Every structure is written in structure tokens, then in C-alpha cells.
Amino acid sequence: MTALAVFLVGSMPTASAQDVKGEKPKPDAKQNLCKPHKAAKEDCFICDPKLREKGRLWCKEHDRYEDRCWICHPEAQDKKRLFCKEHSLYEDECFLCHPELKKKKPSAGATPSAPEDGKSK
């Protein structure tokens, strides 16, 4: 019986340093996800209009930037570039699938920069 008591006491959870300091533990990463788009809520420009680029038109009917709405403007799509259907961005712009791009891009869903030769396509 004594061995059982020692085992039970030894297996009881102990307070972590965070608990002792009164700090709240960080929320589970899954709790901060936008379920429909599987993106961090603080980055989901599809759900939160405040995160969208100022002055860039939004297709309300299809929940994407107007210049990325191939349903309304199929002629505008660059067929040579991979497209993220889940977030309606080109793959090389989709910072929701590729968070490393967020550091490189000035804002969510940025359009590609002008060609180096200065000529438009």
C-alpha cells in the first residue's frame, strides 16, 4: 500500500514555472486557426476584411481579390503559374500555405512586381 501511495504522489502533475508566475499558457495552435481556410486567424484576409490590401478590389461573390478571381476574369489568369485554390493566390504568393513568404512580402496577397526590364507583359 505504501508503494502505491508513493507511486500516486510521484505521478501527480506538478505546477510549471508558468503556473507559478501566474502567466497563462499559450493557446493551442489549432484554436487560432480559421477553420474554412486552415490559416492563422490573424493572417486570414479572406475572413477579415481589415487584413486585405487597401485599394485592391475584392470579389464578394467568390471571396477573393478581384484580380485573382478566375471565375469572373478567366482571361487574366497566368496559366504558367501554380495557383493555390484554397486561398485564391498564386502559390508563390500564398503566405498562408508558405509562412516563410510572409516575411518577404510587404502585404497579404501582393501582386507580383514589375518585370526587371520595365516592360509590361
Distance spanning both ends of the chain, measured CA to CA: 82
What average pLDDT does the segment 49-74 reach? 93
Residue 9, H or E segment: helix 2-10
Contact residues for 25 (Cβ-Cβ < 8 A; gap 6+): 18
Higher pLDDT, 120 or 62: 62
CA angle 44, 46, 51 (to 5 degrees): 60
Indicate the average pLDDT of the chain.
72
pLDDT at 42 over 80: yes
**Each residue's pLDDT tens digit, 65-97:** 999 898 999 998 999 999 998 888 899 989 888
pLDDT at 55 over 90: yes
Higher pLDDT, 62 or 39: 62
Please give the Cα distance from 8 to 20 (Å, whole number).
22
What's residue 105's pLDDT? 47
Task: Parse the chain into domains and list their residue ranges.
Answer: 32-109
